[in-house]
Amino acid sequence: MVQIFDNQTGAPLGTLTDEQFDFLADHLEEESDEDQDYYLNRTTVDTLESEGAAPELIAILRRALGAGDEAEIRWSRS
């Protein structure tokens, strides 16, 4: 399981299965092998949804965006 957090506030956003996280990691850019955060925007989330992301993953990403158009999330394996 992988915990997802709002990178700015540290607030927990939800938990992903390893499969859901692998989908996310395969579709987003990592700056290095040690990178544990991702930048999101509404277009990215919409694209992930259209490419078959699990509804639970999309819900967590939309929660991260809130009323804004972009956000940074970080992850941690539990």
The band of 78, judged by pLDDT with boundaries at 50, 70 and 90, is: confident
State the pLDDT at residue 32.
Answer: 62
Structural domain for 60, as ranges = 2-77
Q: Mean of the per-residue pLDDT values for the chain?
A: 93
Secondary structure (H, E, C), 3-34:
EEEECCCCCEEEEECHHHHHHHHHHCCCCCCC
Number of domains in the chain: 1
Contacts of residue 34, Cβ cutoff 8 Å, sequence gap at least 6? none
Burial of 19 from C-beta contacts in 10 A (0-12 / 13-18 / 19+): exposed
Give the tens place of pLDDT for each residue, 23-57: 999 998 766 667 789 999 999 999 999 999 999 99
The band of 8, judged by pLDDT with boundaries at 50, 70 and 90, is: very high
- Give the predicted TM-score (pTM) of the model: 0.90
